[in-house]
Structure 1
Amino acid sequence: MSDFADEPGPAVRRRLAEERNVWLCTVRPDGSAHVTPVWFVYRGSRWWIGSDHRSVKVGNIREEPRVSLALEDGRFPVVAEGCASLIHDGFPREVVAEFERKYGWDVSAPTGPGSKRVLLEVRVRRWLLAGTAQ
Structure 2
Amino acid sequence: MLATTASCLLVAASLLLSSGVSAHAGEADVIQVRSTQASDGTWRFDVTVRHADDGWAHYADSFEILAPDKSVLGTRVLLHPHVTEQPFTRSIDGVVIPRDIRQVIVRAHDKVHGYGGEEQTVELPLD
- TM normalised by structure 2 equals 0.33
Structure number with larger C-alpha Rg: 2
- TM normalised by structure 1 equals 0.32
